[in-house]
Amino acid sequence: MSHRLLSVSPVDIAIIVLYFFTVIGIGVYLKRYTKTGEDFFLAGRQMTAWIAGLSFVAANLGSLELMGWAASTYQYGILAAHWYWIGAIPAMLFLGIVMMPFYYISKTHSVPGYLKLRYGEEARVFSAITFGVMTVLMSGVNMYAMALVLHVILGWNIHVSIWISSATVCAYVFLGGLTSAIFNEVIQFFLIWLGALIVAILGLTEVGGWGGLVARIHQNFPGKDYTHMWIDLGSFSSNPMGIQWTGIVFGLGFIISFGYWTTDFLVVQRVLSARNLHSAKMAPIIGSGFKMALPFIVILPGLLALAVLPYHLLPANLAHGAPSYNDVLPLMMGRYLGPGLLGLGITALIAGFMSGMAGNVSAFTTVWTYDIYRALIVKRASDQHYVKVGRWCTIIGVLVSIGTAYFAMQFQSIMDYVQALFSFFVAPLFGTVILGMLWKRATPKAGFWGLLVGTLSSIGMWTWVKFDPAALRYIALSPHAKTMAQDMYQALWSFIICVIVTVAVSMATEPKPKAELVGLVYGATEIPSEGHLPWHKRPIFWAAIVFVILVFLNVVFA
């Protein structure tokens, strides 16, 4: 035990310990129901729309969502909410309404599995390997962030925290597979909301509502605007993020967001566990409603910190042991939560980290077992054999993640690191998947080459800027662009390059016969009609409601 930010009471510790026992207990309970490969890797395809939808959002609620975005809000203001609204909601609705039928009807077990069906083995293996790399890196980042929180808040040794938390996640995923991960994600979802919501409620009470919050921020930071989402995005130099509206709309809102929410198997796997197509379509729409509300518990604490803290926080690399941006959420919890509630708040943070980590581990396990091990190493074995491999893979995945966590310690900004990862793999993958789903002419060779060249171009741009920071002006088209803008434009270019290569190669190579595209591509797939459902049960109705609220929120906070 060394430095600690908060003092926890025995009752807080009891609440945290009870949580750890509960998640492992659920894993033990579910082991008896996890017998087949479909049980372990796809939760038996038995989940309701609500379970799949909540799990879909919770799996994304890793360390970055809670600590990271509260910190980013303190740094950039309400601009951070773009990652929750335009940077998530349209993509989630698009997944539910447009893409889910193809994923679900094709009966694929994974996104690389879809690429195998649509394009062939080369695209699948490349995608599976890049996904595996990205997933263990993400998992390591999550793990490091959790250990850092436990160290800062509780004074726990960072290495002990990494091993205890990862062992817990490993135990429950090993025992119950995806079912266990999803069950725990639903519990984690409730804990995150109930543990963090009270901070926002008490904070708003202290400052006297939204009007009081804005007034206090203006008083503490004269001349700076932290409370508008759009009016400062006219140029790169007029906002603290150093980004222009085109980067937010096209780079984040279209490419990064659609890439992540529609092709990242971590989240798509939760929806594939739904028990029928209607549930699979509704799950992302339900998830989008809760995602849209998350700024209330993530962004608002960051803004409250700007309003109520009697001192100004610094970036972690300049804080020299003093509280930094990254400590915003724990600081606000320490401010408002007394004994008992503080335990609940800390449990919310731990639950967020665990849900993110379990999401990565279970997705990695599925892709490794089905898309690498079964595709390349042992092609014909019993279902039980693959379940056993999946279980062992869980342990290996966690061990690799632990190694990655130590690697992540070398990076000053976790956020930038993850954004870089997204743009390496996710943006080109979105180009490949969406062309595969919507364009019958896309050929197997084009799918592979588009994905490969798009990914290499992204890595190339990142490396270029790494060695020559001045190169950013060419990628983001402005000398005033900052790191966040680099990620947006890098994703945009890599997507465009992927699409151009895919189209060009498709024109020069032989397409698949139409019979082989049934169930995979628009125009060759019969999508079940929902005309028999009453209007209030149709996914498109709820998607429209969510979209209208999204527009309304953006106008109100413009």
Partner 1 sequence: MPNEEQNNSSGRIAIWFFVGLLLAVYGIIIVVTGLYYLGSPPSHPAVLANLHPEIWWGAVLLAIGLFYVIRFFPRKRL
Residue 178: its H or E element: helix 158-207
Query: From the CB of 33, what's the least distance to partner 1, in Å?
Result: 5
Dihedral sign for Cα 514, 517, 518, 523, please: negative
Shortest CB 34 distance to partner 1, Å: 10
Q: Which of 193, 160, 170 is nearest to 357 (CA)?
A: 170
Question: Does the protein bind partner 1 through residue 558 (CB under 8 A)?
Answer: no
**Tokens coding 183:** 């069950």
- Taking CB under 8 A as the rule, does residue 279 contact partner 1? no
Would residue 312 be called left, alpha or beta, if left means φ above 0 and alpha means ψ between -120 and 50 degrees? beta
- 350/420 with CB nearer partner 1: 350
Q: Is the Cβ of residue 354 or residue 433 nearer to partner 1 in the bound state?
A: 354
Residue of 5, 20, 29, 409 interacting with partner 1 (CB under 8 A)? 29
Contact status: 13 vs partner 1 (CB under 8 A) = no
Q: Which residue, 210 or 411, is less far from partner 1 as judged by CB?
A: 210
**Whose Cβ is closer to partner 1: residue 22's or residue 227's?**
22
- Tell me whether residue 201 or residue 551 sits nearer to partner 1 (CB atom): 201
290 lies in the site for partner 1, by CB under 8 A: no
- Cα torsion 68, 361, 176, 262: sign: positive
Q: Concatenate the DSSP letters of all residues of 402-454 into one string.
A: HHHHHHHTT-S-HHHHHHHHHHHHHHHHHHHHHHHHH-TT--HHHHHHHHHHH
CA distance 198 to 345: 9
Q: Which stretch binds partner 1 (CB under 8 A): 40-48, 152-160, 515-523, 540-548?
A: 40-48
Residues 333 and 329: their CA atoms lie apart, in Å, by 6
CB of 183 to partner 1, least distance (A): 5
CA 485, CA 481: separation in Å to the nearest integer? 6
64-96 b/e (C-beta count within 10 Å ≥ 16 → b): bbbbbbbbbbbbbbbbbbbbbbbbbbbbbbbbb
Question: Is residue 208 within the footprint of partner 1 (CB under 8 A)?
Answer: no
Out of 97, 194, 293, 527, the only residue in the binding site for partner 1 (CB under 8 A) is 194
Specify burial of residue 359 (Cβ count, 10 A radius: 0-12, 13-18, 19+). buried
Is 392 one of the binding residues for partner 1 (CB under 8 A)?
Answer: no
Cβ proximity to partner 1: between 46 and 139 the closer is 46
Instruction: Choose one: 27-35, 235-243, 397-405, 515-523; the region binding partner 1 (CB under 8 A).
Output: 27-35
Cα–Cα distance between 429 and 451 in angstroms, integer?
A: 6
Residue 183 touching partner 1 (CB under 8 A): yes
Tell me if 213 contacts partner 1 by CB under 8 A.
no
Nearest distance from C-beta of residue 389 to partner 1, angstroms: 23
What are the residues facing 324 on neighbouring strands? 314
- Residues, the chain: 558
The residues near 474 (Cβ < 8 Å, ≥ 6 apart) are none
229 φ, ψ (degrees, to nearest 5)? -90, -30
Identified binder of partner 1 from the candidate list 89, 198, 346, 452, rule CB under 8 A: 198
Compute the least distance from the CB of residue 535 to partner 1, in Å: 17
504 binding partner 1? (CB under 8 A): no
Q: Which of residues 43-62 bind partner 1 (CB under 8 A)?
A: 44, 46, 48, 50-51
Of 144, 71, 61, 150, residue with least CA distance to 351: 61
Q: How far apart are CA 68 and CA 70, in angstroms?
A: 6
Q: State the minimum distance, in angstroms, from the CB of residue 205 to partner 1.
A: 6
Q: By the 8 A CB rule, do 47 and 178 touch?
A: no
Q: Is residue 196 part of the contact set for partner 1 (CB under 8 A)?
A: no
- Whose Cβ is closer to partner 1: residue 186's or residue 361's? 186
Contact region for partner 1 (CB under 8 A) — 79-87, 154-162, 187-195, 357-365?
A: 187-195
Give me the least distance between CB of 191 and partner 1, in Å please.
Answer: 8
The residue among 45 and 116 lying less far from partner 1, judged by its C-beta, is 45
Q: Does 533 bind partner 1 (CB under 8 A)?
A: no
250 binds partner 1, rule: CB under 8 A: no
Q: In 3-state terms, the chain is what percent helix, strand and coil (to 5)?
A: 75, 0, 20
Q: Is 57 or 481 the residue whose CB approaches partner 1 more closely?
A: 57
Asked if 331 touches partner 1 (CB under 8 A), the answer is no
**Does position 338 bind partner 1 by CB under 8 A?**
yes
- Binding of residue 272 to partner 1 (CB under 8 A): no
Q: Which residues in this chain contact partner 1 in the complex, by CB under 8 A?
A: 7, 11, 14-15, 18-19, 22, 26, 29-30, 33, 44, 46, 48, 50-51, 182-183, 186-187, 190-191, 194, 198, 202, 205-206, 334-341, 344
